[in-house]
Amino acid sequence: MPTRYDLDRDALAELLAGEPRFRVDQLWDGLHRRLAAPDEMTDLPRALRARLAEELPPALTPIAESSSQGGTTVKWLFACGDDARIETVLMHYPDRTTVCVSTQAGCAMGCGFCATGQAGFDRHLTTGEIVEQVVRAARRARDDGRRLANVVFMGMGEPLANYDRVWPAVRRIHGDIGLSARHLTLSTVGVVPGIRRLAGEDLPVNLAVSLHAADDRLRNELVPLNRRYPLSVLMSACADYLRAKGRRLSFEWALIDGTNDRESDARRLADLCRSLPLPAHVNLIPLNPTPGYPTRGTPRAGVRRFQEWLRAHGVNATVRRNRGTDIDAACGQLAARVEAPRHRAGRHARPVAVSGRAR
């Protein structure tokens, strides 16, 4: 059975065949603008509300919710209809509210430092499952007296490996929920065909590339996809993307103690940033602890030193604040861990910048 955000407007019109035509707009507006469930839409006749509540069930069932830092970070564990587990993280900052959504249950990319990658791949999420995460977060933000302004696709999964469901979700979040494309950020560990497709789209979303290493030898180790799309190929796709979109590109860099935090790493990274038609911005994320990866994140002083090296080479870099480390909601930690017996979900724990994932 389709869930309430899986149907597009035409499919909803079919579902409402026999009803006055304006009911489609009412229902669509209720779901997306007012963030309402069918049984809350008091502008619909009672009998229709009851039918829609039955025929348009939610995709996600909350299993657990944890919050930290005085409620400014909230992480949900959701069960999907087939019991796949995913996680979503809402973050209130002084000046903005951001949700980090999952695009797959688990991830097939196998980055060793990432809780999601350690758990393996379960399945792609549907467009409805992705949109519903945003709707639920926007409702919570509204209840908290805030407005959801940013969506980062940096939760569990590799968004560009699920392009055919993720992009319709982006369009819905932009066109129907009403968030600016400039406040939507898609991340990737380097799925080059996806970057090339994105370059041909009309919405100017942000692109964040989880780089983590600036030479192929190290990147092959940290990000296995690099063996398929080595840095020269990835950089060429990034350059073409920038030429086509003129949008800012960011590189995410999870700092791993003694692994990718040396001056030579900063120099190589700076070379890559400066090789692009528009300079890339770097987001530095001290690697979060995960059970399956033995090394640790770069200590704070090392993070600052790395940032200074980049600056000295003319590259702007921001240190991401880790939000939610105590509830495993920080970059690289999403692992859908509450008893998922058959499923091995994880979040795009890429050293996802939760304020963007490991990006």
Q: Do 222 and 212 contact (CB within 8 A), yes or no? A: yes
Radius of gyration of the chain (CA): 20
CB count, 10 Å around CB of 100?
35
> Which residue out of 55, 65, 87, 111 is catalytically annotated?
87
Strand partners, 74: 67, 90
* Residue whose CB is less far from ligand SF4, 74 or 353: 353
Which residue type occupies 52?
A: L
Which residue type occupies 190?
A: G
Cα 80 versus chain centre, distance:
17
The piece of 112-120, 168-176, 231-239, 323-331 that touches ligand SF4 (CB under 6 A) is 112-120
* Residue whose CB is less far from ligand SF4, 98 or 290: 290
Query: Contact with ligand SF4 (CB under 6 A): which of 111, 249, 284, 353?
Result: 111
The piece of 27-35, 76-84, 102-110, 145-153 that touches ligand SF4 (CB under 6 A) is 102-110
Which residue type occupies 237?
A: A
The piece of 37-45, 68-76, 114-122, 274-282 that touches ligand SF4 (CB under 6 A) is 114-122
Which residue type occupies 251?
A: F
**How many residues bind ligand SF4, per CB under 6 A?**
13
* Residue whose CB is less far from ligand SF4, 37 or 114: 114
Q: Alpha-carbon torsion 340, 166, 118, 292, what sign?
A: negative
The phi and psi torsions of 75 (rounded to 5 degrees) equal -120, 130
The piece of 57-65, 80-88, 107-115, 306-314 that touches ligand SF4 (CB under 6 A) is 107-115
Has 263 been annotated as catalytic?
no
Q: How far apart (Å, rounded) are the C-alpha atoms in residues 353 and 98?
A: 11
Has 100 been annotated as catalytic?
no
* Residue whose CB is less far from ligand SF4, 126 or 226: 226
Is residue 130 within the footprint of ligand SF4 (CB under 6 A)? no
* Residue whose CB is less far from ligand SF4, 126 or 187: 187
The phi and psi torsions of 288 (rounded to 5 degrees) equal -85, 150
Is residue 189 within the footprint of ligand SF4 (CB under 6 A)? yes
> Which residue out of 80, 107, 114, 331 is catalytically annotated?
331
Q: Binding pattern to ligand SF4, positions 278-317, x when CB under 6 A?
A: ----------------------------------------
The piece of 18-26, 108-116, 167-175, 257-265 that touches ligand SF4 (CB under 6 A) is 108-116
Is residue 116 within the footprint of ligand SF4 (CB under 6 A)? yes
Is residue 107 within the footprint of ligand SF4 (CB under 6 A)? yes
Query: Contact with ligand SF4 (CB under 6 A): which of 132, 158, 252, 261?
Result: 158
Strand partners, 108: none
Q: How far apart (Å, rounded) are the C-alpha atoms in residues 157 and 109?
A: 8
Reduce the secondary structure of 127-156 to three states and give it as a string: HHHHHHHHHHHHHHHHHCCCCCCEEEECCC
Q: What SS3 class is residue 67?
A: strand
* Residue whose CB is less far from ligand SF4, 29 or 221: 221
Query: Contact with ligand SF4 (CB under 6 A): which of 117, 159, 194, 356?
Result: 117
Which of 224, 168, 205, 201 shows the shortest CA–CA distance to 5? Answer: 168
Shortest Å distance, C-beta 223 to ligand SF4:
6
Strand partners, 65: 76
Q: How far apart (Å, rounded) are the C-alpha atoms in residues 90 and 342?
A: 26
Residues within window 328-357 making contact with ligand SF4, judged by CB under 6 A: 348-350
Q: What SS3 class is residue 234?
A: helix
Is residue 114 within the footprint of ligand SF4 (CB under 6 A)? yes
Q: How far apart (Å, rounded) are the C-alpha atoms in residues 60 and 125?
A: 11
Is residue 109 within the footprint of ligand SF4 (CB under 6 A)? yes
* Catalytic sites, residue numbers: 87, 331
Contact residues: ligand SF4, CB under 6 A: 107, 109-111, 114, 116-117, 157-158, 189, 348-350
